[in-house]
Chains A and B, each alone.
Chain A
Amino acid sequence: MEVSANLGLGGVIAFVAGIAVLVKLFQKEGFLKGILGFICMLYTFIWGLQNMKNEELKLKTWMYVWMAGIVIGLIINFTMGGGAE
């Protein structure tokens, strides 16, 4: 298992938060939308942003963590001069 060095930290943070949001997406929207969220994590991210204010889902923390992961990944990526896939 090879983890890209410049995307590793942000990527892992984003991955963990993304999976947490994906689980909520499966629970709330059903199987097909869950699959869509897995195929396109960008959809999971958008859905998470849209439902951040929903107290029942408790997505706020996970979304902030995910955003932090993206920002960390971008900063490390740009400072190290690496390219994203």
Chain B
Amino acid sequence: MCAIFFGGNVFICLMEHSLKTLWYQPMFSSLLNNRVESAAIVGFGVVHLGMNLAGLPFWTCPVLAATGVPCPGCGLTRATMQLVHGDILASLKTHAFAPVFLAALFIMVMVLILPGSQSTRLINFVNRLETRNGITAWGFTLLMLYWAVRLMA
């Protein structure tokens, strides 16, 4: 596809290449590879969910607090708690990406608690998914579209 390098084609070719590189970039697996970062995210996530369950929210979305406009992730905590309580319909109504968020959190916990070789296998599996299918980029794109629809609704 990038055989002809003349004039504008070089630009198009470079754009296509950088878009492909971006799309298939292994983001989640690189996060999983960084144990400290993963542990911090899981730790903060668990504390955040626990405090919310206790009715003591310690984290408020700065975007929502300052502008009044919800960010793409606003409502995920509530939806995840509803999902954990088994209220699937209410959870999907609050934020449709709650199952994805919970699955990601579960994978992070698994990577942290599994022994070395199994943990590496799981990370490699996620890496393959990302580099072959661009699953993370697709997920983010869908989330952005979902956010736009929610803002308009």
Contact = CB atoms under 8 A, between A and B. Distances in A.
B137 to A, nearest CB: 7
Contact of B22 (A4, A32, A74): A32
Interface residues of A, number: 40
Contact of B66 (A15, A33, A39): A15
Given A18-B62, A39-B143, A32 B68 contact: no
Contacts of A31: 22, 25
Contacts of B72: 38-39
Nearest to A11: B65
Given A11-B65, A31-B22, A73 B60 contact: yes
Dominant secondary structure at the B interface: helix
21 contacts: A8-B65, A10-B65, A11-B65, A14-B62, A14-B66, A18-B62, A32-B27, A32-B137, A32-B140, A33-B27, A39-B140, A39-B143, A40-B73, A41-B73, A42-B48, A46-B40, A50-B40, A74-B58, A85-B57, A85-B64, A85-B74
Interface of B: 22, 25, 27, 31, 36-37, 40-41, 44-45, 48, 57-69, 71-74, 76, 136-137, 140, 143-144
